[in-house]
Amino acid sequence: MKNKKKKIRITEFEKKVYAACKTIPYGETRTYAWLAKKIGHPRACRAVGKALHKNPFAPAVPCHRVICSDGSAGGFAGGVSNKKRLLAAEKKAKGYEVF
């Protein structure tokens, strides 16, 4: 049987979201609103969240570093508890106080 690679189809919007998300430094977080503004669509917070939920490039595209504007974790395809665990591990590794 031949080993066929699955072709990943992403929209231009999703490409922008993933590229901007990759700029978030290790151990830091940004909001969905910040990401929406960064890609030039300041009112597209929910669309940003939807794109990140579909993220086929994790962990290279660190979608777990994107949180809600109120400071809550928001969603995560791998489960919110895993998102919090990843964020806590990164903050601890960088020497930040963990929530």
**CB burial string 16-28: b at 16+ within 10 A, e below:** bbbebbeebeeee
DSSP H or E segment with residue 30: strand 30-31
Could you confirm whether 63 is annotated as catalytic? Answer: yes
Q: Alpha-carbon distance 97 to 76, whole Å? A: 22
Residues catalogued as catalytic:
63
